[in-house]
Amino acid sequence: MSAFTLSSDCHALLCELQLQRAASTRYLQDTLYAPGAPGRALLDTLDQLQQWGLVRQRTEQQWSLTAEGTLTLILAVRAGECPMPQWSRIPSVTGLERAQEVVRELCLGDAGQIPAYYQSAELLSLLDLPDAPRLLAGSSPAWQALLLEHFALQALLDAEPDEGWPLATLVTSCSPALSGQIQARAREWEWLCGPFGGEVTTHWPALQQLAQQGDEQPLAERLLGALGQWQGQEASPWPRMFSALLWLGWLQQADPVQGSEQRKKWQRSLGHHSPLLADLLGQWAGDRHGQAVGLFDTLQLPLEELHWGYLWLDLCALARHGEQSPQVTILHKWDLSHVLDAEPRHRLMAFCQDLLRLLLGREAAHWPLRALRPAQGEEEDATEEEGKAPASASWLNWLQGLGRSSGVRKPQERLVWLLHAEGPELECKIQKQSTKGEWTAGRRVDPALLSSQYASLLDEADWALVRTLPRNMGKLPRDAWVPLANHPRLFNAKGQKLQLAVSAPLLQLVQSGEGMSARLHPAPAARGAHIVPLAQDLWQLILTPQALLDRLPALEAIPALPPAGLEELQRTLDAIPDLPWHSQVAGLRGNAELAPWPGVPSVLLDWQEGQLVVQLVTREGDLPPLPLGKGEAIVRQGIREYHYWQRDLAAEKDDAQRLRNQLPIGLPGNEWKLDGEQALTLVNALPELVDAGVVVHWHQDSARLKSLDEAALSLRIERRQDWFQVEGALSLDEHQILDLRLILRQLTPGQRTVQLDEKTSLMLSDKLVERLTVLGAMLDNEQRINNKLAYPLARLLSVITTEGDAAWQNLQQEWQQEVSCPPELLTALRDYQKEGVRWMATLAHHGFGACLADDMGLGKTLQALIVLRMRQHLGPALVVVPKSVVTNWQEEVARFAPELEVVVFDHPAERETLIQGARAGQLVLVNYGMLGSLSQALKSRRWSSMVLDEAQQIKNAGTQRAKLLFQLDGDFRLALSGTPIENHLGELWSLFSFINPGLLGSLGEFKRRFGKAVKDPQHMAMLRAVISPFILRRLKQQVLTELPDKTEIIHHISLSPEERQLYEATRREVVQQVQSADGRALMHVLSGLTRLRRLCCSPQLVMPEWSQTSSKLDEAMALLDEAIDGGHRVLVFSQFVDLLSLLRSRIEQRQWDYCYLDGGCSAKSRQESILRFRHEAVPLFLISLKAGGTGLNLTQADTVLHLDPWWNPAVEDQASDRAHRMGQTQPVTVYRLVCEQTVEEKIVALHDEKRALADGLLSGQSEVKGLDVESLRALLMS
């Protein structure tokens, strides 16, 4: 600081920046950037202060003091060269930052006080400066005591014993009151660093007394006892400053827990007296330099150059890991004889030697560490030849590591550094590792707080970088770039791993006409440092020497020079420090070499967080790869400082195109991120690409990716009592076989890669993932499978290499047999119907139930009747149907199975007798409503076959109807339903509890195993694999190519103003009722929704006195009028019978002929209406949705009108398919009347979710969503 003299303007600016704490203050905005002379003068002042290192520019309009600038200001104020900053300009003293308080008190000189709380990091940044000892003179006694402790401790850490006590020249600046403290620090220096006579306990009598005691008392207890004794006697010296760190190291070795407790006490009690000690104790809590990364270089130094204080701290930090840790065991590989065998020159050296001996498993030579002995068997030969351990396959190592895992992993944290190209700016973050092994985005932390608050996270690379960073981060100092470039966790702003190459630009001199010209490669930045991104993960930092920037304008146009001028130019350029230059001009010899780039076009692969990053690069040896055909033409790569490469970018672009044509990617560019099948395709193609001459490299930090398909999976299955034991393996190659359970434990839903070891990951094909996912769902933790799941497993294994014992092989052979059906029974069937019959008959033969879930109108009844004909000789069959289709079943039996005798209960008195007397060849036909009265009779006998038509009738397993059917005794159970699942998965469990009891476990087990299937594609795949062998579903568009088209139209209707007003008033009333309901919200929601739906149909349904018209009924009549005029016949459906009554009145007024059916019609009336519509030219059939939505064949109609949307779209689809089914010859049009901006529109929107649930299970889709109470509540919102 004495090398320059500050003007009053400089002093004023330093005061201003100190008060404002940097940034774009009003002062700078009004002065620095104002037009005119004052702004330019101030800018010149700032530039001068920046050259002296007193200020830094943070952004274009942000400046701040450096630590040197702050110290300069303090010393100038004390010397009277600068006025005291006007602290009163800050709103209140309490508003001062803690760092400001420190500066203010130091400026006050002998009147300054130590703040009760201050920012130690800010103070340390001042005290680390070379001129900081000048603060001793003129400071108050309190400050002098703190500063003395700091400088004494720093002197011991930097101990150079041969030079004597370094504070001898400073003590004259201290007040006489500190003489005792000065003497204590001098004795501490003398004891630790003075000549060593072989005894370590001199100077501490109590320590010498402890050393002479026997070993009956543990060392930790003796050390703590001595501490208590000393702290009780004020006159007796006890460990302070560095001696505290020395004592803490002994105690840590004797008892780590006690050592940790003592560290916390000293950190609280001593920290305020010395911020440096507080910082060191904070680092003690973490790893500090305990990774042994830089320790080797330290221990190789000549003994006279070792800083023994820092070495003691490094060894103590290393010892925290334990003697068997990798960080400590690496010491055994080093030759440390020159350190261990040397005679100690002082006690500090002796203590370091003893701690090093303990870490190597040897005995210490001096007390107190001599009281500790290495554990039995730890003293091993450090020169044992590597490779003696028997080699084991990588999968075995993985298994052993997996076995050692406790299963409970403490969340890990790490420190990462993000470099932004703009500025450049450096950002520090702390990331946490999730249970899946992924790292979070991280939270930003101030690098100035790392050493004091986050020391446990810092490793050697972090410490090397942190030491170079200023306390207030701004422009990065030149010293920071090398440790930053060497840091293993450096990322770009997007979080991608980054390599940073630091170099100077190349100055190139070329002939230009009669003279010369000079140009820099790359072009320089305005302030001498900028980043050139060569690739996303490779940046080059160009540091341009300031001396070159000053001369560059002159060098850009050099006139013709005589020989003497060339010699002078040579000397000038050689004299510029850190300047590489190359000349193409005769007579000038540059110091840099420029050679053609010999890189080879290559494909670089990097597996990153589930994505395969593919880059086209040019690569030479161990040099960082460069993007092929992109970047700078002249680059510096390699360890030789002044060696540069000249690239041929045009040729590289041709090479890039050639590689693109060879890769199976088919996308433009030079870099891709692949996942899923794209990544798998490329990995599978790698051997072929290599054979074709493509050079492929993996990133040095990347795991290698290998692929596996389902052909690699093999299983062995053996019978055990009532379950099967499944063992499996995956063959990676002829040398590596992986145990199935290892893969299953790692495989999670949505994941297709598993980690084999630290350097290898496996990517599984979609088919293999599907097989393994299903296996994981079927097998328990011991890889056993229940007998009931053996059939789905056998279906799964049809494409997997499987071995098994005799029991499994016999079972598989039996299940592979397909039942042959008599040809005469199949004559009238279509091909898909024949397939359905064979499928049902085969399942029945093997003792399983089935669910035929064909689309409506594909002949489920016909297929079921053929199976019943095949099984009629085995005993009577029970068929349970809705009441509405009893007649239809009778007609179908008479037509397709006349040899079956249908038993119908006409008289209640005969029911039990008929059931008891049922025999082979008889079909007992019962409707669902009769089950309750027939429960005992039905349960009293065995049935050869049981069929449930419209099986969704038992979707609620808690009903008496469902419970009764579960209890019936039958050989073959068949469910017929075009909609086996309508709303939720519980309906599926109920259905399977009938057809295959126990297959899906209890309801609780089912929910635990498959409850996530609605939202999780992998769980959906598991469930589908278990049930798929027992469900057969075909859609009409798949099998009936000749079926006419069905056009579905949503016909929107606008409410009249009066209807809209009534609707909104009702909606608000319903919302208010729901919000005020306690514990009965769901009931109010459903009731309110019904009111709104009925109001949309006709206000008269809600308000009988309503005298105005209904928009929906008006529109319905208009559509019917048009249809009838066009010669169409129409089915009209509604779930509200009273709405149908209102429509009937209008139809009768128009004198249109119509048929009518609702739940109140008798069976006779029902059949008469159906026959009349079929055989007469009746244009309209009004049908209640529940009464006629299933079981009817009304192909005479070609138009369907749904007056109101029902919650479940499957019910509407079933109703529409009364007309759109086999036998229909005309295109069918389906109208859905929906009132705009009402609850009806929202119900229609929910239909997609409902359909997705059924399709996800039955049609192979994997993504569905559930409908909850909140979804219903949302329907009420406007």
**pLDDT tens, residue by residue, 51-86:** 788 887 766 666 778 888 888 888 888 888 888 887
Using an 8 Å Cβ cutoff, are 31 and 24 in contact? no
Q: Who has greater pLDDT, 705 or 201? A: 705
Contacts 24+ apart (CB under 8 A), 735-740: 735/393, 736/393, 736/394, 736/395, 737/395, 738/395, 738/762, 739/395, 739/399, 740/713, 740/715, 740/775, 740/783
Using an 8 Å Cβ cutoff, are 458 and 279 in contact? no
Amino acid symbol at 913: T
Residue 103 has pLDDT above 50, yes or no: yes
> Coil, strand, or helix at residue 1089?
helix
pLDDT at 1253: 54
d(CA 866, CA 872): 10
Residue 807 has pLDDT above 80, yes or no: no
pLDDT at 1203: 93
Stretch 943-967: mean pLDDT: 91
Residue 1022 has pLDDT above 60, yes or no: yes
pLDDT at 1133: 94
DSSP designation for 410: P
Amino acid symbol at 219: L
- In the Cβ-directed half-sphere of 585, how many Cα atoms lie within 13 Å? 28
Q: Who has greater pLDDT, 834 or 538? A: 834
Residue 324 banded pLDDT, cuts 50, 70, 90 = low
Residue 231 has pLDDT above 80, yes or no: no
Using an 8 Å Cβ cutoff, are 351 and 369 in contact? yes
Residue 1141 banded pLDDT, cuts 50, 70, 90 = very high
> Coil, strand, or helix at residue 942?
strand
Residue 993 has pLDDT above 80, yes or no: yes
Give Cα 169 distance to the centre of its chain: 59
- Of 260-269, 456-465, 635-644, the one with minimum mean pLDDT is 260-269
- Of 28-32, 185-189, 251-255, 1217-1221, the one with minimum mean pLDDT is 28-32
Residue 11 banded pLDDT, cuts 50, 70, 90 = confident
Dmax over CA atoms of the chain, in Å, equals: 134
Residue 1064, token pair as written in the block:
């909104």
Number of H helices, E strands in the chain: 50, 41
Stretch 466-491: mean pLDDT: 81
Residue 635, token pair as written in the block:
């680059």
Q: Which of 1119, 1152, 1158, 1170 is nearest to 1144 (CA)?
A: 1152
Using an 8 Å Cβ cutoff, are 150 and 143 in contact? no
pLDDT at 995: 92
Q: Who has greater pLDDT, 270 or 791? A: 791
Residue 750 has pLDDT above 90, yes or no: no
Amino acid symbol at 607: W
What is each CA distance from 1127 to 585, 1179, 1219, 1226, in whole angstroms? 99, 8, 16, 12
Q: How many CB atoms lie within 10 A of CB 845?
A: 16
What is each CA distance from 1077 to 1084, 1087, 1239, 1267, in whole angstroms? 8, 12, 21, 21
Amino acid symbol at 389: A
Using an 8 Å Cβ cutoff, are 1215 and 1181 in contact? no
Q: Who has greater pLDDT, 1065 or 810? A: 1065
pLDDT at 925: 94
pLDDT at 402: 41
d(CA 321, CA 658): 52
pLDDT at 1278: 58
d(CA 714, CA 720): 20
Q: Who has greater pLDDT, 225 or 833? A: 833
Ranges of H-type helices in 468-562: 481-485, 546-555
Burial of 405 (0-12, 13-18, 19+ CB in 10 A): exposed
d(CA 1110, CA 1117): 11
d(CA 688, CA 709): 17
Percentage of residues of the chain with pLDDT beyond 70: 77
| Category of 1189 on φ-ψ map: left (φ > 0), alpha (ψ -120 to 50) or beta | alpha
d(CA 518, CA 417): 36
Residue 473 has pLDDT above 80, yes or no: no
Residue 1155 banded pLDDT, cuts 50, 70, 90 = very high
Residue 873 banded pLDDT, cuts 50, 70, 90 = very high
pLDDT at 380: 40
Mean model confidence pLDDT for the chain: 78
d(CA 1241, CA 1232): 11
pLDDT at 289: 41
Using an 8 Å Cβ cutoff, are 724 and 717 in contact? yes
Residue 939 has pLDDT above 50, yes or no: yes
Residue 1261 has pLDDT above 80, yes or no: no
> Coil, strand, or helix at residue 655?
helix
Residue 790, token pair as written in the block:
């053996």
Tokens 């296996």 locate to 775
Phi, psi of 562 (to 5 degrees): -70, 170
d(CA 698, CA 689): 14
d(CA 882, CA 1190): 9
Stretch 957-982: mean pLDDT: 89
Residue 1246 has pLDDT above 70, yes or no: yes
The sheet with strand 443-445 has its strands ordered as: 443-445, 425-432, 413-420, 490-492
Q: Who has greater pLDDT, 1016 or 229? A: 1016
Q: Who has greater pLDDT, 710 or 121? A: 710
Residue 1159 has pLDDT above 80, yes or no: yes
Stretch 1261-1274: mean pLDDT: 50
What is each CA distance from 1073 to 1085, 1185, 1278, in whole angstroms? 9, 30, 15
Burial of 903 (0-12, 13-18, 19+ CB in 10 A): buried
Burial of 1080 (0-12, 13-18, 19+ CB in 10 A): exposed
| HEC profile of 122-154 | HHHHHHCCCCHHHHCCCCCHHHHHHHHHHHHHH
- Of 46-60, 132-146, 1247-1261, the one with minimum mean pLDDT is 1247-1261
Under 8 Å CB-to-CB from 209, ≥6 apart: which residues? none
pLDDT at 1182: 95
Amino acid symbol at 907: H
pLDDT at 239: 54
Residues 74, 78, 84, 90, CA torsion sign? positive
- Of 203-212, 395-404, 930-939, 1034-1043, the one with minimum mean pLDDT is 395-404
**Angle at alpha carbon of residue 1258, lines to 1253 and 1264, rounded to 5°:** 25
- pLDDT, tens digit (0-9, with 9 covering 90-100), for 1187-1211: 886 767 888 999 999 999 887 777 7
Residue 869 has pLDDT above 80, yes or no: yes
**Angle at alpha carbon of residue 144, lines to 141 and 149, rounded to 5°:** 130
d(CA 694, CA 686): 9
Q: How many CB atoms lie within 10 A of CB 57?
A: 16
Amino acid symbol at 26: R
